[in-house]
């Protein structure tokens, strides 16, 4: 291969890599659902809104409270959870960093305090049935590459309803998770659920509102 051909080959390779990276960034920032605009209100729980994020990996600005508390990237699942707990319970997490999956600490036993989040942590399965106001933590999968978080908005006999932000451009802000009682423990029948976190003061069962 001559020197000119080598240079041409390298130039083409670099160009293809740059094009591929550009296309990848455009796809991540895209909004594949024309029915909604990024930042549009989809739902609410006790007056705290759920916003549309477009594609799951879309990244907008960071949301920071007036007092400087970092709520997370708009409009990701963990941002909604931190914003809800901040507005509803006046709760601030000692450690605000981490992807959704990292909100669950595998070193914390069932029912013990997760000191990084200053919340009680329960494993799946657990001796404690999830309550309204708890939030489920799901491990990463092909769809949610960093995991996912959703707040329990209602508890039924054999099923939990959750409200979620950034579930996907075509997904509902509400979803159901089945559960059963196995050996005196409650187990959610979704293999991705690592567990759930709860405010240290038992939350009241509040009515659900929508915009």
Q: Does 211 have pLDDT greater than 50?
A: no
Instruction: State how far the Cα of 54 lies from the Cα of 168, in Å rounded to an integer.
Output: 7
Calculate mean pLDDT across residues 75-83. Answer: 98
Q: How many residues does the chain have?
A: 211
- Residue 200, exposed/middle/buried by CB under 10 A (0-12, 13-18, 19+)? exposed
Rg over alpha carbons for the chain, rounded to the nearest Å, is 20
Calculate mean pLDDT across residues 97-102. Answer: 96
Q: Does 208 have pLDDT greater than 50?
A: no
Dihedral of the CA atoms 189, 164, 196, 204 (nearest 10)? -110
- Phi and psi at residue 209, to the nearest 5°: -125, 155
In whole numbers, what is the pLDDT of the chain averaged over residues?
A: 88
Residue boundaries of the structural domains of the chain = 1-30, 41-198
Q: Which of these ranges, 78-82, 146-150, 200-204, has the smallest mean pLDDT?
A: 200-204
> pLDDT per residue over 129-179, tens digit each?
999 999 999 999 999 999 999 999 999 999 999 999 999 999 999 999 999
pLDDT at 22: 43
Read off the tokens for 118.
């200053």
Calculate mean pLDDT across residues 9-33. Answer: 56
Tell me the pLDDT band of 6, cut-offs 50, 70 and 90: low
pLDDT at 17: 53
Instruction: State how far the Cα of 177 lies from the Cα of 168, in Å rounded to an integer.
Output: 17
Q: Residue 28, SS3? A: helix
Contact 43, 210 (CB under 8 A): yes
In CATH terms, 41-198 corresponds, of 3.40.50.10680, 3.90.650.10, 3.40.50.11310, 3.90.1720.10, to 3.90.1720.10
Read off the tokens for 129.
């049935």
pLDDT at 124: 98
Read off the tokens for 136.
């489920």
């Amino acid at each position: 291969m001559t020197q000119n051909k080598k240079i041409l080959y390298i130039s083409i390779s670099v160009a293809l890599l740059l094009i591929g990276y550009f296309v990848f960034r455009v796809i991540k920032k895209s909004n594949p659902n024309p029915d909604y605009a990024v930042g549009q209100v989809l739902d609410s729980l006790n007056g705290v809104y759920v916003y549309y994020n477009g594609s799951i990996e879309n990244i907008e600005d960071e949301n920071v409270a007036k007092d400087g508390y970092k709520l997370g990237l708009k409009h990701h699942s963990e941002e909604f959870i931190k914003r809800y707990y901040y507005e509803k319970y006046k709760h601030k997490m000692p450690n605000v960093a981490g992807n959704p999956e990292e909100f669950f600490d595998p070193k914390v036993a069932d029912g013990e305090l997760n000191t990084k989040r200053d919340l009680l942590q329960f494993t799946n399965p657990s001796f404690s049935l999830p309550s309204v106001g708890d939030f489920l933590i799901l491990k990463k999968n092909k769809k949610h590459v960093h995991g996912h978080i959703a707040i329990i908005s209602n508890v039924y006999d054999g099923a939990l309803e959750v409200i979620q932000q950034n579930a996907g451009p075509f997904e509902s802000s509400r979803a159901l998770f089945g559960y059963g009682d196995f050996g005196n423990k409650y187990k959610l029948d979704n293999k991705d659920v690592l567990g759930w976190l709860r405010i240290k003061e038992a939350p009241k069962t509040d009515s659900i509102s929508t915009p």
